[in-house]
Structure 1
Amino acid sequence: MKHDRPKISDVARLAGVSTATVSRALSAPERVSEETRAAVQQAVEATGYRLNLAARNLRHRRTGGIVALVPNLANPFFSQILSGIASVLGPAGYNLLIADTRTADAQTLLDYAEPSRADGLIILDGTLPATALQGRVPVVEACEWVPGLPAPRVKIDNRAAAGLAIGHLADLGHRRIGHVAGPRGNVLTEARLSGTAEALAARGLPFPEEHLYPGDFSLDSGREAARIWLDQPAATRPTALFLASDAMACGFIGEVQRHGLRVPGDLSVVGFDDIELVAHISPPLTTIRQPRTEIGRAAAERMLACLKGETREADTVLPVELILRASTGPAPA
């Protein structure tokens, strides 16, 4: 027996309103009264009506998709940000599409910025070319940002966050504090490095060139930084390290432990991000917590505002938190 698919007219008849009112209640609920919204919702549930998103998108000349450009999908740091984005876009009727910028060439990036491919871009990679992204579809930058790209930004104060880490180590009595940086030129790397240098100077502590170690936010680069640190004289090398990512901190700790050193007995370590793993390593990592889910939600909310034609120039800056665990302790005697 054939069952006809419920139509919008069925919903209207049951709710006692016009089809135009049903359409408004479903696509722009703020434009109808709460009583009308409730009546339409009850009728939708009773009839089993399903909104034809493809048809609606065609009428409104939109794709129904927002593309998030991520620099490394294998990095667990991005999972909560993407979850936060999806939690806002989904209820608003948008699909979240995700692209790894490491595997996309310049032409692919240009294609993502076409209105026929996406209604907007949420950028999490600060190394992308501004010229390829500007003026095509609405853009929001989250966590990282592209210099020269005039777009709303959702971020943290990376300099102040680095200051929290350095202040904690200095308060524990450490006077030789080193830093493992991210890839040079990256906006996060430079902000955290500047914050480290400023905080050390404010405390009257030295920051010689040999206490700055290269990295790229990865586990392997943390291990390599540890090898450099291990080769330095024990009497002059740092007794505490602040690393610009949790992944590097994990690699660093693992390498020094393999050489028989104790964390925090011989060396204190602070990471950055508070990814899920670091509460479960040995020792659990002291780190700077970024509100990753909130970053994602705020970025999605700003994107929805952009799609409605709302503009707000000021950046959204979210607070960070120093999470104290067992990888930091008093400076060794």
Structure 2
Amino acid sequence: MATIKDVAKLAGVSVSTVSRVLNGSGYVDKTTEERVLSSIRSLNYQPNRIARSLVTRKTKTIGLILPDITNPFFPEVVRGAEDEAHKRGYNIILCNSDWDEEKEQVYLSVLQQQCVDGVILVGTKLSESYLASIAATFPPIVVIDRTIALDMHSISSNNIQGAYVATSHLLAQGCRIIGHIAGPEQSVSARQRMQGYRQALDEAGIPFLPELVVGGDYRMTTGKAAAAELLRRSPQVEGIFCANDLMAIGALEQLREASIRVPRDVAVVGYDGIAMSRYVYPPLTTVVQPTYRMGERAIQLLFDSIERNQPEFQHIELEPLLEIRKSSTRRACHENASRSRHR
């Protein structure tokens, strides 16, 4: 197995020069750096990360805790983070919390023991008081998919605006009885999407009716069950805004089983913009979140904190985009039916 001395000998430089190239510290001219990197590749030299971390106090690892690896929204965030981390020579340690607050805390403790250089929390349910209590002794943290008022980085999309646009779209399609399949009450993003739904109804002069809201847990099975409950409570429902795409896909399945035509009888809109939403029938109108960009940007923020020692915390809010597909184009269905009747 090649050693750092072997690399130095092949490159014709000192061991300290090889060390500077590996650690990205100190000045090394471009020609020398390329010669060292070429020697590393030729010898297939693998640096001892543990030994390096003792010197640099960096492990080149990032912990990423997400709530549900089976939800397609989250792997897209992970992909963005992993691609950006790889470019910068970092590795990702992935943890799945199953929406369990206690499990999140355990994983944070484990990651701290592993001496990770930074942590990304996606959709965390941890309270701000708890996050504040660990911030002073913990590596840099980036919170994704949640607005936060603490001295730590956060990245989210404008959930209130996204839900407002989604509900306004249903109103524009002629829907007046609009149900909402909501996310978990503990989820900040779910509460914000409820707020956007209510805001759109209020501005349209339509009263908010609690019986038109059914709770879910961001999974397809609960979306299907929630749609059945919504139809039981209000058989006249004309539109359904779902707090995420998986629940919307479950709702589509329930409507199909009940022989309710989408969008002619009931229009459906989801949230997240997962790839699957394009391929269900009918293709799902959805509020698209820039998920890959969220993961990518999280690594960039951590890199600035870790490598460049930039302490300024950023709270980034990205704009979601409504992508209109066939599941909600109810007005077009009624206009086509009207033209057929007048032929």
- Amino acid in structure 2 at the alignment position of 1:168: H
The 5 Å alignment of 1:43-192 reads 43-102=39-98, 105=103, 108-109=106-107, 111-112=109-110, 114-129=112-127, 130-131=129-130, 133-135=134-136, 136-144=138-146, 149-192=150-193
- CA distance in structure 1 between the aligned counterparts of 2:25 and 2:285, rounded to whole angstroms: 45
3-state DSSP of counterpart to 1:97 = strand
- CA distance in structure 1 between the aligned counterparts of 2:126 and 2:119, rounded to whole angstroms: 12
- CA distance in structure 2 between the aligned counterparts of 1:16 and 1:317, rounded to whole angstroms: 50
3-state DSSP of counterpart to 2:92 = strand
Structure 1 residues 110 and 49: CA distance shift in structure 2, 3 A? closer
- Amino acid in structure 1 at the alignment position of 2:140: P
Deviation at 1:112, TM superposition (A): 2.7
Residue aligning to 2:338? none
- CA distance in structure 2 between the aligned counterparts of 1:174 and 1:222, rounded to whole angstroms: 20
- CA distance in structure 1 between the aligned counterparts of 2:237 and 2:44, rounded to whole angstroms: 66
Deviation at 1:117, TM superposition (A): 4.2
TM-align CA RMSD:
2.5
Q: Does structure 2 conserve the Cα–Cα contact (< 8 Å) formed by 1:70 and 1:124? A: yes
Residue aligning to 1:315? 315
Residue aligning to 2:337? none
Residue aligning to 2:218? 217
Runs of at least 5 residues in structure 2 that lack an aligned partner in the other structure: 335-343
- CA distance in structure 2 between the aligned counterparts of 1:248 and 1:180, rounded to whole angstroms: 7
Q: Deviations over 1:309-332 (max 9, x none)?
A: 212323122232212211012258
Residue aligning to 1:248? 247
User: Mean Cα displacement is larger for which, 272-281 or 199-208?
Assistant: 199-208
Percent of matched pairs sharing the same residue: 30
- Amino acid in structure 1 at the alignment position of 2:271: F
Structure 1 residues 84 and 107: CA distance shift in structure 2, 3 A? closer
Deviation at 1:271, TM superposition (A): 0.3
Residue aligning to 1:292? 291
User: Mean Cα displacement is larger for which, 256-265 or 20-29?
Assistant: 20-29
- CA distance in structure 2 between the aligned counterparts of 1:94 and 1:208, rounded to whole angstroms: 49
Structure 1 residues 211 and 272: CA distance shift in structure 2, 3 A? same
3-state DSSP of counterpart to 1:90 = helix
- CA distance in structure 2 between the aligned counterparts of 1:292 and 1:107, rounded to whole angstroms: 24
The 5 Å alignment of 1:190-201 reads 190-201=191-202
- CA distance in structure 2 between the aligned counterparts of 1:74 and 1:233, rounded to whole angstroms: 31
How many residue pairs are counted as aligned between the two chains? 326
3-state DSSP of counterpart to 1:282 = coil
- Amino acid in structure 2 at the alignment position of 1:321: L
- CA distance in structure 2 between the aligned counterparts of 1:63 and 1:38, rounded to whole angstroms: 24
Scaled by the length of structure 2, what TM-score is found?
0.85
Residue aligning to 1:325? 325
Runs of at least 5 residues in structure 1 that lack an aligned partner in the other structure: none
Structure 1 residues 195 and 287: CA distance shift in structure 2, 3 A? same
3-state DSSP of counterpart to 1:327 = helix
User: Mean Cα displacement is larger for which, 42-51 or 134-143?
Assistant: 42-51
3-state DSSP of counterpart to 2:327 = coil
Deviation at 1:212, TM superposition (A): 1.9
Deviation at 1:107, TM superposition (A): 6.2
- CA distance in structure 1 between the aligned counterparts of 2:104 and 2:44, rounded to whole angstroms: 44
- CA distance in structure 2 between the aligned counterparts of 1:317 and 1:30, rounded to whole angstroms: 36
- CA distance in structure 2 between the aligned counterparts of 1:258 and 1:14, rounded to whole angstroms: 70
Residue aligning to 1:264? 263
Structure with a larger share of its residues in helix: 2
